[in-house]
């Protein structure tokens, strides 16, 4: 018999995921908008795998509602919404899809930077509104030849750096510690990095240590001609401080794909012409989603065949610490 799996339905699911899974498994789809634990408890004890999303994750209540659960599969890179300590208590393995979306996220970061600096959205509105017949729109800011600061020199940050080099930009970076294999100029102080660069692009991990990493001091250091791009997580930026910096022209603009309380975006941000907003879709390409689905299927099939997993997430102890 086919193993039973629980599939969390969400807008970020790869296209065709139900049909692809049904070739190998008995699929029980549930909505992430309801009480997932209550719904899961009604499905009985037969569910052995959970396929979730980076947004929905799997909390302790959902995991506890699935007494036969063996594996949690996330077709995405981030697993911070999965209670890995609760999974570890029952030796439930977790897999994800690391690295697949990195080129797309990097492309999106550069696209946001160009859109803000060159006034692409403002130009589109200018033409559509018929203002062009009354005179030119005005000047924008050059990107090539400028200095880009990258916060988080992981896989995405490194690809952004290569894209920036293609635009003849100088790259600098900030991390808690210098990366021995990275030749770009390193700043141990984020404020000093912000003071040195023209643009700041965020690609660091989200967590308690990075909450409001970009605060008023960093924004003030970035300066009135600076542009902030955030492809990391909303909590990395003090959103109220960012809004104030934009309203007072303490910085020139921002390109934001993530927000502190998404999908709710403050009206003050939505009203600003010097901000490019997108609905957390940097990784949303057909190509990336197809690869994520393929990897999710490979992990599931490997697990139920008793073979090594393709992309297991490092185990966490039941207390929440890494071994």
Burial profile 116-136: b = 16 or more Cβ within 10 angstroms, e = fewer = bbebeebeeebeeeeeeeeee
262 is catalytic: yes
DSSP 160-222: HHHHHHHTT-EEEEE-SS--TT--SEEES-HHHHHHH-SEEEE-PPPSGGGTT-B-HHHHHHH
Rounded to whole angstroms, how far apart are CA atoms 294 and 206? 26
Among the options 78, 84, 158, 233, which is catalytic?
233
Catalytic member of 48, 112, 158, 280? 280
Q: HSE of 66 in the Cβ direction (CA atoms, 13 Å)?
A: 28
Burial class (CB in 10 A: 0-12, 13-18, 19+), 273: exposed
Neighbours of 75 (CB within 10 A): 26
Q: Is 118 a catalytic residue?
A: no
Question: Is 131 one of the annotated active-site residues of the chain?
Answer: no
DSSP per position, 281-315: -TT--HHHHHHHHHHHHHHHHHHHTT---SSBPPP
Please pick, among 220, 225, 262, 294, the residue that the annotation labels catalytic.
262
CB atoms within 10 A of CB 27: 19
Contacts of 30 (CB under 8 A, 6+ apart): 6, 7, 8, 9, 36, 39, 40
Catalytically active residues are: 233, 262, 280
């Amino acid at each position: 018999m086919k193993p039973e799996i629980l599939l969390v339905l969400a807008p970020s699911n790869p296209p065709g995921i139900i049909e692809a899974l049904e070739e190998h498994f008995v699929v029980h789809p549930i909505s992430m908008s309801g009480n997932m634990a209550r719904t899961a408890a009604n499905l009985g004890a037969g569910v052995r795998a959970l396929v979730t999303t980076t947004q929905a994750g799997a909390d302790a209540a959902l995991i506890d509602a699935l007494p036969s659960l063996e594996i949690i599969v996330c077709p995405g890179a981030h697993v911070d919404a999965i209670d890995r300590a609760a999974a570890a208590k029952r030796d439930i393995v977790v897999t994800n899809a690391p690295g697949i979306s990195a080129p797309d996220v990097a492309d999106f970061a550069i696209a946001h930077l160009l859109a803000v600096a060159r006034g692409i959205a403002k130009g589109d509105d200018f033409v559509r509104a018929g203002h062009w017949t009354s005179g030119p729109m005005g000047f924008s800011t050059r990107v090539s030849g400028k200095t880009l600061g990258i916060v988080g020199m992981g896989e995405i940050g490194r690809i952004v750096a290569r894209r920036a080099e293609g635009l003849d930009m100088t790259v600098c970076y900030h991390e808690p510690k210098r990366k021995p294999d990275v030749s770009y100029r390193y700043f141990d102080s984020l404020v000093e990095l912000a003071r040195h660069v023209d643009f700041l692009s965020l690609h660091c991990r989200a967590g308690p240590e990075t909450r409001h990493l970009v605060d008023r001091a960093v924004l003030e250091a970035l300066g009135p001609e600076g542009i902030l791009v955030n492809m990391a997580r909303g909590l990395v930026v003090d959103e109220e401080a960012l809004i104030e910096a934009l309203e007072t022209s303490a910085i020139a603009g921002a390109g934001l794909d993530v927000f502190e309380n998404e999908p709710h975006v403050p009206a003050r941000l939505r009203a600003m012409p010097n901000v490019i907003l997108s609905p957390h879709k940097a990784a949303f390409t057909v190509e990336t989603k197809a690869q994520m689905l393929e990897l999710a299927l490979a992990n599931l099939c490997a697990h139920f065949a008793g073979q090594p997993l393709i992309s297991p997430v490092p185990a966490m102890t039941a207390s929440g610490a890494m071994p």
